[in-house]
A and B are shown apart, each in its own frame.
Chain A
Amino acid sequence: MKNILVFIEHKQAKIKSTSVELLGQAHRLAKELSTDVHALVVGHQVDEIVEQVSAFGVKKVFVCDQENAATYHPSVYADAITDVLQNETPIALLATAGSSMKDVLPKVTARLDWVMISEGIDTAVQDGRIAVKRPMYSGKCTAWAQINTDTPAIFTFRPNVFEAYTGFVAANAEKVAISVSTSLSEQWKCVERIAPTSDKPDLVEASVIVAVGRSIKSAENFAMVDQLASVLEAGVGASRAAVDAGYAPHSMQIGQTGKVVNPKLYFAFGISGAIQHLAGMRTSKVIVAVNTDKEAPIFQYADYGIVGDMFEVVPMLTESCKKLLAE
């Protein structure tokens, strides 16, 4: 029987919450397709991860545990994933659309001559096949992508798009160890890792985001927003105008040529709501806008808003949130 396979990502000996989210959706699909959920773990010294997987109703877990898989390298990961996919031939592989899987899965798809749909935000089963809803034109619209052959599929999904799954039934996952003999060339290797300059949550994964526009006026003024972000454990983003003005790095840019985000709560401070920015954040669950211009388009997309200067509102908001969260 063909199964649904989930690629498990992990950090500091724990399964990432984004992978748990996918395991939940995999179970929903497996129920509809009357099949089981299997998992794939790649890394080094990952026994704890393999044990944790059983709690999420996984019947079989494939493990590639070897030294050269300790950190991401496209060659090793592609070989390990291809090895499992070739032998297992699942209905589909589900993975999180993060930097590693976005990098490697197209390579695997090409090697296997399968089919890949990226950055999904919802699933459905149609005619016994999985269809994926995905943003198009950077979120200006959505469409359903349906696989029209029996070729196995590889899907990546954005983080935070599926409802939490509460039906996990612990299973004793059968462990299948695999190893790959990828020899890494001296020619293709990571020579340095540079830690992020900010300790804030990653924007794509953050459940709360505070974003500012060009009216922040300087990089130094981000300190004010950082305080609110610390209170709310939020990621900090910026509009393209603020990035182009040099107030923030491109890694903080939200919008069509930056990050597309989908948090529970999005604060837009001094952001007018240009179409390119809206494309990057309009699927946020709740949007709060603060702008001095009451005609700013952002207010039309906001659940809550305050017409006013962010330099007045942000400190008040920080205090008010601090008080509330201390209660």
Chain B
Amino acid sequence: MIIGVCIKSVPDTTAKIQVHPDASGIQEAGVKFVISPYDEYAVEQALRLKDEDANHEVVVFSFGGAKGPDALRSALAMGVDRAIFITDETGAAADGLSTAKVLQKAMAKENVEIVFTGRQAIDDDSGQVSQMIAEKLGWPHATMVSGFRTKGDATVEMTRDIEGGAKEIWQMPLQSVFACTKGLNDPRYPSLKGIMAAKKKPLATISIEDLGLTPADVASKITLSKFELPSVERKQTIFAEATQANVDALVKALREEAKVI
């Protein structure tokens, strides 16, 4: 079986985000990029299937971003077999559906039989691409996947997290697209051996034209602008001691000044 995994290179969670002076985006210089954390659960789940059956091949895909190849290289170091980077010359990746069209074509070309993604990339936090890929493939999808057990050759029983700590167990065909969330597994760290091996593993760079798409097919229908940092003025009334009088004063302020209780 060929297992497809889609990943995205994003600023590290600890990165301080600075907006470009013209508000057209963020400043990427000096920012450390990593595999989007939820995508690591997707990579790990694919590798676990391969751990059970070494005949499986795990192929990882990424669309766009200057640091995309680095993220793919990290996935190769975790144990993925090969990687495909699709360049984004026109900013198509700003649109979830355009991204899904590209990734779907790339995976169909490689005859992928099951797909894992993260539940959302932690840069735009849209959470769309996984379900869109499934629709384009004509396959079922599952989001917020926090449990995954194969049952026989063609069926999966998976756990899906929903609101307020509730969960659902779904039965799905193996040939589905799974958007993974925290709790599913503990992603492995690349070993030194893995990092060395990754340097020799195939990482192909292709264009959307190689997939039979034109820039018009995937033109972003979304324009992002006016990026800004949150600038909420905070009152900063800080009591220096934990006394009952101070606690009462705080509660009074929450009622009378802030009007929130």
Contacts and interface: CB of A to CB of B under 8 A. Distances in A.
A275 B240 contact: no
A190 B140 CA distance: 13
A55 to B, nearest CB: 25
Interface string B67-97: 0000000000000000000000000000111
Contacts of A190: 168-170
A188 B135 contact: no
B223 A148 contact: yes
Interface in A123-140: 135-140
Contact of A141 (B19, B129, B220): B19
Interface string B142-168: 011010000000010100011111111
A192 B157 CA distance: 11
Given A137-B123, A324-B261, A302 B238 contact: yes
Contacts of B251: 317, 320-321, 324
B29 interface: no
A279 B258 CA distance: 22
Contact of B164 (A251, A299, A307, A308): A251
B238 A304 contact: yes
Interface residues of B, number: 86
Interface residues of A, number: 98
Given A116-B128, A188-B172, A208-B261, A304 B253 contact: yes
Contacts of B131: 74, 103-104, 106-107, 110
Contact of A144 (B165, B220, B224): B224
Contact of A299 (B26, B226, B236): B236
Given A149-B221, A302-B238, A192 B169 contact: yes
A147 interface: yes
Interface of B: 11, 13-17, 19, 26, 37-38, 95-97, 100, 122-132, 134-136, 140-141, 143-144, 146, 155, 157, 161-173, 176, 181-183, 220-230, 232, 234-242, 244, 246-248, 250-255, 258, 260-261
